Amino acid sequence: MLNEVSSFLLIGQSNMAGRGYIKDVKQIYDEQIRMLVNGRWQTMTEPINFDRPTSGVSLAASFAGAWRLENPGRQIGLIPCAEGGSSLDDWAVGGPLFENAVFNAKLAMRISTLEGILWHQGENDSFGGRFKQYNDKLQVIITALRDELQVPEIPLILGGLGDFLADGRYGKYFTEFRTVNGKLLEFASTQPNTFFVTASGLTANPDGLHFNAVSLRKFGIRYFKAFQYRQNIEAATADENELIDTIANRELTKTEKINLLEISFASGTISLENCEAQLALLNAG
Amino acid sequence: MLNEVSSFLLIGQSNMAGRGYIKDVKQIYDEQIRMLVNGRWQTMTEPINFDRPTSGVSLAASFAGAWRLENPGRQIGLIPCAEGGSSLDDWAVGGPLFENAVFNAKLAMRISTLEGILWHQGENDSFGGRFKQYNDKLQVIITALRDELQVPEIPLILGGLGDFLADGRYGKYFTEFRTVNGKLLEFASTQPNTFFVTASGLTANPDGLHFNAVSLRKFGIRYFKAFQYRQNIEAATADENELIDTIANRELTKTEKINLLEISFASGTISLENCEAQLALLNAG
């Protein structure tokens, strides 16, 4: 059946693509959480947004998990189009990043209903006075995106930049990140159907640049709350850790267990004998 | 400068995407070998074609390495659009796989010259008499692709299916793979600018379905020979192991060494102290 999937477009730079270490958090695996690959839905695994060899955990996984808790009988689809290191100028209308996002969203819209846009960007506009033009540039991009996709009122969720940026290895490049955070909040407060999510209290990988996996799980919950309640989220949400536990500890279906076994086998992680033995147990159970 | 990159479109199913285990072969890393990500070039790392969590080594890496040996001052760009498990029907003109390949090729052609199409597909048409329509269906797809991209005479390289398919875990699904191999050879022999590459002697992962990493390195060399000499490659090429060694043992540039260190650090594989110490040595050297 067409349009049974609710889809979300993921755009921005590396902290939307996600650089959390896979090993640091429990996997979220749910047949009803899909991601767009070559214009078709696949069951989500991380990395979702493989723009670099360093891609890993993303905020989109727990966003989707939280969405699923509220929509137990339905499917969600993620459309990964974020690009590491991209500035707002890189997202200019007509450029490859913009066109790629529009194209993938349109492919997804053949088989789903687009319900939101998740945006995280700004590190690469946090110096040299770029903040002065930030909101004008962002508005041009978002307006064009809503126009091209014919979703004029679609919710846009914008996340803030991490508090850690000033002190990290690359701190000297991000001298104006607090100002950019102010601009993002201002944008959300003045634009229709646009909501800001704070990164307050979230922490980074050792690079002091990328949110770590544990923080990205929290950030995804905050993004979802902003979407769910159509409001800014300006402080950590009280139940974010509890929700993350609920999502990560969901009982897997038999099909999901089989699929994970097959992935382990095909990746060379377990032997054929081990795989077959575990499959036999599952099928007998 | 525009069009300084020679690009190649990678399409087909999982054995074009590549499922070789990364740990089994030496990494090919060369600043002049690029891959398309979100419409822009990035330095190639494997997996190149991340269509599944099991994606790994692909034949495209050694193809590119062999191309570089013949074109030492130039850049090559890979356009990954292969999709695991896809049948010829899945590649129908107007469907998501076809449209995705055309779109990505067009984005690449903004910043490169498209010089070839590498195709590997057929496992999923190796049963039920599908071979009878294989060449008619393939011709429609390839003609439409050359038309849409306005490259009517571009070389198309087609690889054969692995000898191991009959005996593997999924052998019962591939009863007609030898007939499909005959069809591929016939297609190459009757279509202009189309060349067939044998998989003879190549071996598989324990699944008996996917070429292993060592074999994919060889396969890529054979694909390159077919492209270079514009002829079918119907037996293992005499110097394929030697070429693979030459490619894999190329001395890295200082920039490449720095980039690999930064990837290791950003991925959490080495500590900041270790990274900085190695960078200091490189910069002093």
User: What pLDDT score does A4 carry?
Assistant: 86
| pLDDT at residue A168 tops 90 | no
The tokens for A219 are 């950030």
One domain for residues A228 and A262: no
Residue A2 pLDDT: 45
Q: What is the pLDDT of residue A1?
A: 45
pLDDT > 70 in chain B, percent: 99
Mean pLDDT of A33-60: 98
> Which chain B residues are Cβ-neighbours of A107 within 8 angstroms?
96, 99-100
| Mean pLDDT, rounded, of chain A | 96
Number of Cβ pairs < 8 A linking chain A and chain B:
94
C-beta atoms of A266 and B205 within 8 A = yes
ipTM of this complex = 0.96
> Is the Cα dihedral A156, A157, A162, A163 positive or negative?
positive
In a shared domain, residues B37 and B162? yes
In angstroms, rounded to a whole number, what is the distance separating the alpha carbons of residues B148 and A243?
Answer: 48
Return the axis-axis angle of helices A131-148 and A177-190, rounded to nearest 10°. Answer: 40
Distances in whole angstroms, Cα of residue B257 to Cα of each of B132, B159, B267, B273: 51, 33, 15, 16
pLDDT digits (tens, 9 = 90+) for B99-109: 999 999 999 99
Tokens (6 digits) for B233: 């490659």
Please tell me whether residues A134 and A224 are part of one structural domain: yes
Nearest beta carbon to residue A53 from set B45, B81, B205: B45
Lowest mean pLDDT, pick from A245-249, B1-5, B281-285: B1-5
Contact yes or no for A263 and B81 at CB 8 A:
no
If asked whether residues B38 and B120 sit together in one domain, one would say: yes
Chain B residues near residue A210 by CB distance under 8 angstroms: 266
Residues B241 and B261 in one domain: no
Nearest CA in chain B to A12: B38
Could you tell me the residue range of the domain that residue B236 belongs to? 2-250
Q: What is the per-residue pLDDT for A214?
A: 98
Query: Residues B215, B263: one domain?
Result: no
Number of folded domains that form chain A: 2
**Bigger pLDDT: A285 vs B27:** B27
B275 and B230 co-located in one domain: no
According to the model, what pLDDT value does residue A194 have?
98
- Could you say which DSSP state residue B165 is in? G
Where is average pLDDT lowest: A162-166, A243-247, A281-285, B48-52? Answer: A281-285
How does pLDDT run across B101-155, given as a tens digit for each residue?
999 999 999 999 999 999 999 999 999 999 999 999 999 999 999 999 999 999 9
Q: Determine the residue type at A96.
A: P
Categorize the per-residue pLDDT at B285 as very low, low, confident or very high, splitting at 50, 70 and 90: confident
Worst-scoring range by mean pLDDT, A2-11, A148-157, B28-37, B82-91? Answer: A2-11
* Interstrand relation of A113-120 and A5-12 (parallel, antiparallel or unpaired): parallel
The predicted-structure confidence for A74-92, as pLDDT tens digits, reads as follows: 999 999 999 999 999 999 9
pLDDT for the residue A220 = 98
Residues A67 and A166 in one domain: yes
Hey, of A38, A167, A261, which one would you mutate to test binding to chain B, going by the most B CBs within 10 A of its CB?
A38
B271 pLDDT higher than 70: yes
Contact B50 A50 (CB under 8 A): yes
B5: contact with A, CB 8 A cutoff: no
CATH number at residue A82: 3.40.50.1110
- Its pTM stands at 0.97
User: Hey, is the C-beta of B206 within 8 angstroms of any chain A C-beta?
Assistant: yes
pLDDT at A274: 96
d(CA A245, CA A29): 13
Let me know whether A271 and A193 are in one domain: no
pLDDT at B4: 85
B52 touches chain A (CB under 8 A): yes
Same domain? B244 vs B258: no
Residues of B in contact with A35 (CB under 8 A): none
Residues of A in contact with B272 (CB under 8 A): 169, 206-207
Band (pLDDT 50/70/90 cuts) for residue B169 is: confident
B94 has a chain A CB within 8 A of its CB: no
Q: Check whether residue B215 and residue B259 sit in a common domain.
A: no
Tokens of A122: 């700004």
With a CB cutoff of 8 Å and minimum separation 6, the contacts of B223 are B59, B63, B118, B157, B159, B197, B233
| Residues B54, B120 within the same domain | yes
Chain B residues within an 8 Å CB radius of A21: 267-268
What pLDDT shows up at residue B3?
A: 53
Cβ atoms of residues B5 and B113 within 8 Å: yes
Residue B37 pLDDT level (bands cut at 50, 70, 90): very high
In chain B, residues with a C-beta closer than 8 Å to the C-beta of A96 are: 38-40, 107, 110
Q: How far is B231 from chain A (nearest CA, A)?
A: 31
The yes-or-no verdict on residue B2 having pLDDT over 60 is: no
Cβ-nearest to B54 among A47, A207, A267: A267
Predicted confidence at residue A3, as pLDDT, reads 53
